[in-house]
Structure formats: structure tokens, C-alpha cells
Amino acid sequence: GGSARAVYAPVAVTAENAALFAAEGDASPYLLTDTGRFRRVVWPWLACLGWRVEGHARRETTYYFPPGVRRGRGGARARVDFYDSLKQVMNACVAVPGWAAVRRALAAGAEELPGPLRA
């Protein structure tokens, strides 16, 4: 079998990327001050694109996987190919096609994923 790699390349945390999130009007550059908005707007969009979430049985850890990535298979690495924090997921969003539309919805104050962004 082939190696499982993230469909969307991780994006380095840079001042430019942080500025994208700061423009949303949230105190945190990664929207982490409002995890509710992440769950109502960002996560439904990612789920429509095939992302999935998985908990760890022995720890209170949640993992977020881009399409095609499986923990422990094909050399997939935590915090590189899949993520265990909202900060990492939000940073990865910059590289996901369609992020600009979601970002605009967040900037406009969206509290749920707008219908046109649903797959």
C-alpha cells in the first residue's frame, strides 16, 4: 500500500497566517477564544470535505484527520499529517481549498456554516 499523507500540506505559523485569523475580529489569531464557532462553522465545513475526528481511548485527546489520513498507518505523523489541537487545525485550514469563503463567513459573523458552503 501507499503512504498516507495529508491531502493539505501543513502551513507554518507565520505572522502573515496569524494576521488572516486576527482579521476575523477574534482576540486569538486562531479563533480559539470561541471553540463554539469552530464547532458550528469550521468543523462542519471540514467534515463536508471528508475530514474526521477521533478520540483517544486512554487520554482526553481528540485527533482531527484530513481525508485519507489514518493514525498509525502509512507513516502518518501527529501534528504533521493529522492534528490534536484546534490551533493546528485552524492553521491547516489556510491550505484547504475553499478556506477564503469560510473566512469571509466568519468575518461576517456567521454562527453556523452557510448553506452554499455545504457539500
Q: What's residue 50's pLDDT?
A: 93
What confidence tens digit (pLDDT) does each residue in 65-104 have? 999 998 887 889 988 999 988 888 988 888 888 888 888 8
Q: Which residue has the higher pLDDT, 18 or 60?
A: 60
Output the pTM of the full model: 0.69
For 96, the grid coordinates are: 484547504
Q: What is the mean pLDDT of the chain?
A: 73
Q: Is residue 1 part of a domain?
A: no
Q: Is residue 65 part of a domain?
A: yes
DSSP for residue 41: I
Q: Is residue 6 part of a domain?
A: no
Residues 6+ apart with CB under 8 A from 113: 40, 41, 44, 45, 48, 102, 105
Q: Assess whether pLDDT exceeds 50 at residue 5.
A: no
What confidence tens digit (pLDDT) does each residue in 27-48 have? 333 443 467 788 888 889 999 9
Q: Is residue 88 part of a domain?
A: yes
Q: Which 3 state secondary structure label does DSSP give 15?
A: helix
| Domain span including residue 50 | 15-108
From residue 96, alpha-carbon distances to 29, 66, 89 in Å are: 17, 10, 10
